[in-house]
């Protein structure tokens, strides 16, 4: 049941939602800014109100017009001037570590490019606008709208012009072939920012998609079509149906050539990632013997190997480990090794003779076994890059007895969104 009532925004939560109070219960609204007043339409979910802005009666001086109408579905901070975004993100990280009296002041690196920065974007499909039928279109799921989807006639501003052109042309060809939104699941588009080449992966609910020509689509270097079971909403391949061209991307990161497959993790903002990597390199002690966990395709470890004595990368995904080994071979780095081991099965002996631990975990943060191994082995230096400062702060609270913070620094990998990366450099406390 929806209710309509006035609110005044009192704070911005760590996930970027604006928060107010109504009838003694919190109200969470995306798309409103600190100090703003307006009318929201909301429903109760898990004891709090979750709403959408219907009418703005008092606007923040930091409010601006969004770049696109669907902004709430992809980047809800498009309505906020960029300096205010930076201030909020900086303050968010500072607050998380403010409990430690000996922590240094938090630094922050803003983005240099506000749109078109993403290396990967995932589109859905729709062929209805409410009750009205429309031609097959790229779409995003509406924030808070359940299964409702928003048509994207121009793609998304977070993706580059090349990425949008490829996605829109592929959607046009699917439309002309007679496919509907019920036949299809998602279209993932990835771009190498170093050479502008684009890969696209179509995930279809149908078990057969007839092959069609794509060789003439500018900038498209590879196209893979998968059947993806309807039992899962995720874009996971059940069976490869056909492919044209390449399935590999190349990126140059601080003059290191990194090759990765269409399904591998890769950072979404290359220039800001390079800033973070430079800071990580600066934190390495001389003759560093590095253990890197959650090492992916080796990007961080390979860059660090140019100045470290040795780097041992450990990753859960075998395909990523294979890519890391190939990347090391191409770079002629014989002081880098990669190994496939799940975090929960990792043996503490991996930490032996390693004086530096490098971490770049997923949003959930460190596996409890990793925390146990750190406490038992106590490497001298920990360099921890995180896409979720909240779980990073939680992990540090479990290590604070043994480690002090030498550096806290935020990086705006995701402008126009509330997401932020943070870097901690830790050293053993002197006994």
Strands 381-386, 403-411: parallel, antiparallel or unpaired by DSSP? Answer: unpaired
For range 297-314, the mean pLDDT: 96
Q: What are phi and psi of 38, to 5 degrees?
A: -175, 180
Mean pLDDT, the chain, whole residue set: 94
SS3 (DSSP) at 348: helix
Which pLDDT score is estimated for 299? 96
d(CA 180, CA 124): 12
Query: Residue range 113-127: average pLDDT?
Result: 97
pLDDT tens by residue, 258-281: 999 999 999 999 999 999 999 999
The pLDDT tens digits of the residues spanning 218-263 come to: 999 999 999 999 888 889 999 999 999 989 999 999 999 999 999 9
Q: Is it the case that residue 130 has pLDDT exceeding 80?
A: no
Q: Is residue 144 pLDDT above 90, yes or no? A: no
- At 325, list the tokens: 């080994």
Angstrom CA distances, 425 to 122, 207, 276, 411, stand at: 33, 49, 12, 14
- CA–CA gap between residue 90 and residue 173 (Å, rounded): 44
What is the percent of the chain with per-residue pLDDT over 90, rounded to a whole number?
88
Considering only CA atoms, which of 73, 8, 76 is closest in space to residue 39? 8
Main-chain phi, psi angles of 137, to 5 degrees: -140, 155
Q: What is the pLDDT of residues 338-367, one digit of tens each?
A: 999 987 788 889 999 999 999 999 999 999
Residue 314 has pLDDT above 80, yes or no: yes
Element (H, E) at 375: helix 368-377
Q: Rg of the chain over CA atoms, in angstroms?
A: 23
The token duo for 301 is 């470890």
Domain covering 120-251 in this structure, CATH number: 2.40.50.1070
Beta bridge partners of 25: 22
Sign of the torsion angle spanned by Cα atoms 27, 33, 34, 35: negative
Q: Which residues pair with 24 in a beta bridge?
A: none
d(CA 144, CA 151): 16
The whole-angstrom separation of Cα 17 and Cα 27 is 9
Write out pLDDT tens, residues 148-186: 899 999 999 999 999 999 999 999 999 999 999 999 999
Who has greater pLDDT, 103 or 46?
103
pLDDT for residue 146: 64
Cα–Cα separations (whole angstroms), residue 370 to 56, 145, 270, 357:
47, 38, 28, 11
What is the spatial distance between Cα 421 and Cα 357, in angstroms, rounded to a whole number?
A: 18
CB distance 135 to 152 below 8 Å: no
Q: Do domains 3-63 and 120-251 have the same CATH topology?
A: yes
Report in angstroms the alpha-carbon separations of 225 from 161, 348, 429: 22, 41, 53
Domain boundaries, the chain: 3-63, 84-113+267-428, 120-251
pLDDT tens across 61-88, in order?
999 999 999 999 999 999 999 999 999 9
Q: Please give the positions annotated as active site.
A: 387
Tell which wins on pLDDT, 146 or 402.
402
Beta strands in 272-389 (DSSP E): 289-293, 310-315, 336-340, 356-359, 381-386
Assigned token pair, 162: 């090349």
- Element spanning 149, H or E: strand 149-151
Give me the long-range contacts of 394-400 (CB less than 8 A, separation at least 24). Answer: 394/365, 395/365, 395/366, 395/371, 396/97, 396/424, 396/426, 398/371, 399/371, 399/374, 399/375, 399/426, 400/100
One of 1.10.10.10, 2.30.30.110, 3.40.50.720, 2.40.50.140 is the CATH number of 3-63, namely: 2.40.50.140
Q: In the CATH hierarchy, which fold is given to the domain comprising 84-113+267-428? A: Rossmann fold (3.40.50)
């Amino acid at each position: 049941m929806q209710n309509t009532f006035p609110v005044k925004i009192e704070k911005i939560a760590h996930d970027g939602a604006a928060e107010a109070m109504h009838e003694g219960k919190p109200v969470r609204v995306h798309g409103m800014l600190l100090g703003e007043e307006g009318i929201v339409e909301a429903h109760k979910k898990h004891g709090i109100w979750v709403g959408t802005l219907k009418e703005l009666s008092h606007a923040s001086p930091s409010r601006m017009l969004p770049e696109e109408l669907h902004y709430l579905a992809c980047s809800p901070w498009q309505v906020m001037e960029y300096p205010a975004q930076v201030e909020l993100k900086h303050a968010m990280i500072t607050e998380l570590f403010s409990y430690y009296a000996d922590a240094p002041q938090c630094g922050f690196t803003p983005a240099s490019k506000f749109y078109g920065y993403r290396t990967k974007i995932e589109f859905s499909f729709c062929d209805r606008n409410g009750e009205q039928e429309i031609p097959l279109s790229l779409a995003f799921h509406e924030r808070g709208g359940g299964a409702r989807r928003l048509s994207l006639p121009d793609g998304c501003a977070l993706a580059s012009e090349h990425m949008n052109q490829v996605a829109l042309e592929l959607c046009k060809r699917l439309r002309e072939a007679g496919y509907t939104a019920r036949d299809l699941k998602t279209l993932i588009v990835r771009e190498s920012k170093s050479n502008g080449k684009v890969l696209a992966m179509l995930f279809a609910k149908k078990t057969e998609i007839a092959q069609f020509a794509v060789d003439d689509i500018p900038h498209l270097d590879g196209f893979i079509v998968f059947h993806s079971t309807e039992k899962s909403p995720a874009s996971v391949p059940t069976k490869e149906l056909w492919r044209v061209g390449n399935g590999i991307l190349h990126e140059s990161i601080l003059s290191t050539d990194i090759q990765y497959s269409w399904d591998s993790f890769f950072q979404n903002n290359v220039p800001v990632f390079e800033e973070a990597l430079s800071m990580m390199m600066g934190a390495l002690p001389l003759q560093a013997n590095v253990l890197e966990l959650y090492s992916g395709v080796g990007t961080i470890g390979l860059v660090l190997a140019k100045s470290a004595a040795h780097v041992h990368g450990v990753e859960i995904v075998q395909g990523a480990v294979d890519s890391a080994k190939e990347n090391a071979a191409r770079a002629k780095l014989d002081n880098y090794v990669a190994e496939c081991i799940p975090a929960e099965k990792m043996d503490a002996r991996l930490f032996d003779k390693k004086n530096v631990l490098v971490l770049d975990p997923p949003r959930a943060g460190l596996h409890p076994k990793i925390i146990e191994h750190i406490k038992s082995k106590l490497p001298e230096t920990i360099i921890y890059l995180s896409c979720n400062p909240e779980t990073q702060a939680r992990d540090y609270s479990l290590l604070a007895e043994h480690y002090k913070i030498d550096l806290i620094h935020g990086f705006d990998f995701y402008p126009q969104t509330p997401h932020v990366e943070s870097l901690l450099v830790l050293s053993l406390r002197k006994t």
